[in-house]
Amino acid sequence: NYSYEEAKEMVLEAVKPLGSEYTDVVKDGLENRWVDVYPNKGKRGGAYSSGTYTSNPYILCNYTGTLDSVSTLAHEMGHSMHSYRTNHTQPVHYANYTMFVAEVASTVNENLLIEQLLQKETDPAQRMALLNQYMEGFKGTIYRQTMFAEFEKEAHAASERGESLTPEFLNQLYLNLVKKYFGEDLVIDDEVQYEWARIPHFYRPFYVYVYATGYSTAVALSEGILHGGQERVQKYLEFLSMGSSAYPIDELKHAGVDLTTPEPIDIALEKFAKILDDAEETFAKLQQK
């Protein structure tokens, strides 16, 4: 387990590639009551970042000392820094950023954290835990959310063709997509066909795809921040200050990611392949012990 003081230092170390100005604001926020840290009686679970145009951002957290809690702190601080920078550079009518870019800044921070931890970690068991968490992010956010988006798209298309969206039809559609996305090597329980019914995001039409585009964008951006030099860092910081003053796709282009091309997706999947190779090598070392 990590103490909250350790978590703060881990987050600060992770965001150092973004420069001293960014890091100093993060440090100030962590030290000066931006974060409601621990679980408490009657307190809502989960985590989120909130605030107003004229206030500092505020983070609801339920910190428990796990690696996931540290990652969540980095994630929410990414949202808060996005809000902080837009509120300090944009007029109020442009200060709110769109859902299309909302998860980018938060996921960049998560990726910077795990990359920094992997760079230092030499113990195979600890590396395996980090790599597994990294891969789960790709699986859950790129593959699974894209599968959700295809389910939603196909259901709407069937309705437009005049077909009835019966439970049986939706069950079969979902089951077929699970088999398509996860392959024949995965043992698939029949009960998974009902999973679509418990996904609340489907009540907000065409919402889920932004998770996959946002994660792919964040991977491409974090790779650029770590390996692309100061110009890439500066472009990313400018993106964080744009709010909704430009179209989302153009804001991302300014940061160095063009989602009108397959390139960001290719970069993300190439990164996933490298992480998988690393995991296989690390697992082989564990087996030798």
Question: Distance between alpha carbon 222 and the CA centroid of its chain, in Å?
Answer: 11
Query: Which residue, among 60, 64, 62, 81, has the nearest Cα to 14 in the 3D structure?
Result: 81
Annotated catalytic residue 76: yes
Question: Distance between alpha carbon 80 and the CA centroid of its chain, in Å?
Answer: 14
Measured CA angle at 62 (ends 86, 211), to 5 deg:
50
The active-site residue, picked from 21, 76, 168, 231, is 76
The torsion of the CA quartet 117, 120, 124, 127, rounded to 10 degrees, works out to 10
Residues contacting 78, CB < 8 A, separation 6+:
105, 106, 107, 108, 109, 110
Q: How far are the Cα atoms of 81, 241, 258 from residue 251, in angstroms, in the given order? A: 16, 10, 9
Distance CA 157, CA 220 (A): 32
Do 86 and 101 touch, CB atoms closer than 8 A?
A: no
Distance CA 99, CA 206 (A): 11
Q: How far are the Cα atoms of 103, 134, 169, 250 from residue 138, in angstroms, in the given order? A: 14, 7, 29, 24
The DSSP H or E segment spanning 58 is strand 58-60
Residues that are catalytic: 76
